[in-house]
């Protein structure tokens, strides 16, 4: 069973060991770089399976403030990944299934969650679409590995 929790200092030792395969680094930064971007508006969360931290993501509560094509009252899902040792177990799919409920419980005033996914990352695009995100038809061009699809999930429809 998958659980999502706000990251605390108790998780830090395990979070620091998380990584993706080297070919995925074009899509996700290192955990050190990701953690360096966390602040009061960009909050870290852990994905737990069988009492072990298996993944990580950030929720950006100010996402709409710095993205023109994002509706107000929206969150940003950033740096979502499953540790390379735990990939292939369905943890990403399970996490994305419970994510809307988790977000509505923890951010009740927010109505949407947005993310960007690299145009070359077809597997991730499919995963997000299957989880209930839709492609807005807009592209983000500021990614280090080329353009990214901007995707959204309406939390009120879940």
pLDDT at residue number 69: 83
pLDDT at residue number 20: 87
pLDDT at residue number 158: 66
CATH number of domain containing 151: 3.40.630.30
pLDDT at residue number 10: 95
Report the alpha-carbon distance of residue 35 to residue 117 in Å, rounded. 19
| Chain position carrying tokens 């999930």 | 153
DSSP-assigned letters across all residues of the chain = -EEEEE--GGGHHHHTT----GGGTTTS--HHHHHHT--SSEEEEEEEETTEEEEEEEEETTGGGG-TTS-SSEEEEEEEEE-GGGTTSSHHHHHHHHHHHHHHHH-TT--EEEEEEETT-HHHHHHHHHTT-EEEEEEE---TTS-EEEEEEEGGG-
Which two tokens mark 26? 């074009």
Which two tokens mark 107? 């951010």
pLDDT tens, position by position, 55-111: 999 999 999 998 888 888 999 999 999 999 999 999 999 999 999 999 999 999 999
Residues 6+ apart with CB under 8 A from 40: none
pLDDT at residue number 70: 87
Report the alpha-carbon distance of residue 57 to residue 158 in Å, rounded. 20
pLDDT tens, position by position, 14-53: 999 998 888 787 778 889 999 999 999 999 999 999 999 9
More confident site: 126 or 23: 126
- Cα–Cα distances in angstroms (integers) from residue 1 to residues 24, 29, 46, 48, 99, in the given order: 25, 27, 14, 8, 13
Range of the domain at 22: 2-157
pLDDT at residue number 13: 95
Domain tally, the chain: 1
């Amino acid at each position: 069973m998958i659980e999502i929790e706000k990251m605390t200092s108790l998780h830090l030792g395990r979070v620091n060991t998380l990584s993706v395969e080297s070919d995925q680094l074009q899509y996700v930064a290192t955990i050190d770089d990701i953690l360096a971007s966390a602040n009061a508006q960009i909050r870290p969360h852990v994905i737990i399976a069988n009492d072990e931290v298996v993944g990580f993501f950030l929720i950006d509560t100010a996402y709409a403030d710095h993205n023109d094509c994002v509706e107000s009252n929206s969150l940003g899902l950033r740096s979502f990944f499953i540790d390379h040792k735990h990939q292939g177990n369905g943890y990403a799919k399970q996490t994305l299934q419970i994510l809307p409920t988790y977000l509505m419980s923890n951010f009740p005033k927010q109505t949407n969650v947005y993310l960007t996914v690299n145009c070359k990352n077809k597997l991730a695009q499919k995963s997000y679409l299957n989880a209930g995100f839709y492609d807005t038809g807009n592209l983000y061009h500021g990614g280090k590995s080329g353009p990214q699809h901007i995707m959204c999930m309406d939390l009120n429809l879940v």
